[in-house]
Amino acid sequence: MSLIVTGATGHLGRLTVQALLERGVPAGDIVATGRRPELLKDLAERGVRVRAADYGDPASLRAALQGADRVLLVSSSATGAARVEQHRNVIEAAGRAGAALVAYSSIVNADTATLRLAQDHRATEALLRASGVPFTFLRNSWYLENYTAQLAVFLEHGTVVGGAGQGRVSAAARADYAAAAAAVLTGDGHQGRAYELGGDEPFTLTQLAAEITAQAGTQVSYTDLPEAGHAQALVAAGLPAPVAGILADADQGLRRGELFTDSGDLARLIGRPTTRATAAIATALDTLRTA
C-alpha cells in the first residue's frame, strides 16, 4: 500500500501524515510530498518516504505519485484559475499512476455555497468527477486555528472584527480534519462520497468573543462590519488587498450559513467528538502565557 499525501510541508498535510502514523500505518507505506522536501526531514527520519512535488510542475507530480494507491490532494494555496489548474495537474498524475482513490480537501457545502472560495473547490470537484479516478470529497469547514492564531491581536485590541453577523461557523481543529483524511485513506467504502466536515458545536463570532473574554479575563467584543469595511480593516492590519477581499467575502458566506454543517460526518469519521472551541482557546491562551 502506498498512501501519498500532497502538500505535506503545510499544516494539514503534515498533520495527516502524523495521523496515519498514529493509526499504525507503516512509515514506509506513506509518501509525503512538497515543494521543499528538506522541510520533511523529520518525517524521513521516521521512515516516511519523502518526494519533491510542485503542483505547477506536472513532471514532478508524475514522479512523486508513481505507484500511488491512494492520494490525499490538499488544496493549493493559489486562488482562481491557477488553483484549479494546479489541482488538475495532481488529478492527472494520480490517474496516470492508477490510483484507486483521490481524497480532496474541499470546502463545506461546496455544491451550494456562493462564497468565492467555493468556486475553486467546486471546479476541482467537477474535474475529479470527470477524470474517472475514484474520489472522496472532504468538505472542510473553517479551522479553529483561523481564530486562535489571532488571539493575541483580539486581546490587544479588545475586539474580534468580522462581517459574519450572527452566522454560525462549524469550525474544527486542523488535527480533526487530518484525522478524517487519514481515516478515509486507510478505510473502505468512501469512494464517491462527499463528507460535510465541521465541528460538533458551531458558534457565532459574538460567542467566540464572549468565550475569549471569559477565559482570558479581558473584555473582548465582536465588531460586525459591512464587507467593504471588513476588507479595509484587514488591509489596515497588513493583509494584501486580494487576500483581504477573499476573507471578507468568506465572512459574508459565514453570515449566510455557508460554513455551517450539522452532518456529524467529522465526528463519525474520527470516532470521537471534535475539538471544542473552548479547549482550543484554552490551549492558545496557555501558549501565549508561556511564550
List the CATH number of the domain containing 113.
3.40.50.720
- 198-214 pLDDT, tens digit each: 999 999 999 999 999 99
- How do beta strands 49-52 and 30-34 pair? parallel
Q: Which three cell numbers stand for residue 119?
A: 468556486
| The pLDDT of residue 79 | 84
> In the predicted model, what is the mean pLDDT of residues 22-27?
98
The verdict on residue 153 lying in a domain is no
Is the pLDDT assigned to residue 142 strictly greater than 90? yes
- 36-84 pLDDT, tens digit each: 999 999 999 999 999 999 999 999 999 999 999 999 999 999 888 999 9
Look-up of cell digits 456562493: 114
Go through the chain and tell me how many residues it has: 291
Q: Name the band, by pLDDT with cuts 50, 70 and 90, for residue 10.
A: very high
The verdict on residue 150 lying in a domain is no
CA pair distance 18, 38, nearest whole angstrom: 17
Question: Is 0.95 topped by the overall pTM?
Answer: yes
* 3-class DSSP state of 272: coil
Are the C-beta atoms of 50 and 66 separated by less than 8 Å? no
- 240-276 pLDDT, tens digit each: 999 999 999 999 999 999 999 999 999 999 999 999 9
Contacts of 64 (CB under 8 A, 6+ apart): 4, 6, 31, 33, 51, 52, 53, 93
The verdict on residue 105 lying in a domain is yes
Number of folded domains that form the chain: 1
| The pLDDT of residue 291 | 78
| The pLDDT of residue 129 | 97
The verdict on residue 284 lying in a domain is no
Q: Which domain holds residue 39?
A: 3-140+174-197+263-270
> In the predicted model, what is the mean pLDDT of residues 130-136?
97
- Mean pLDDT, the chain, rounded, equals 97
The verdict on residue 258 lying in a domain is no
The verdict on residue 18 lying in a domain is yes
- 70-121 pLDDT, tens digit each: 999 999 998 889 999 999 999 999 999 999 999 999 999 999 999 999 999 9
> In the predicted model, what is the mean pLDDT of residues 128-134?
97
- How do beta strands 159-162 and 3-5 pair? unpaired
The verdict on residue 68 lying in a domain is yes
The verdict on residue 251 lying in a domain is no
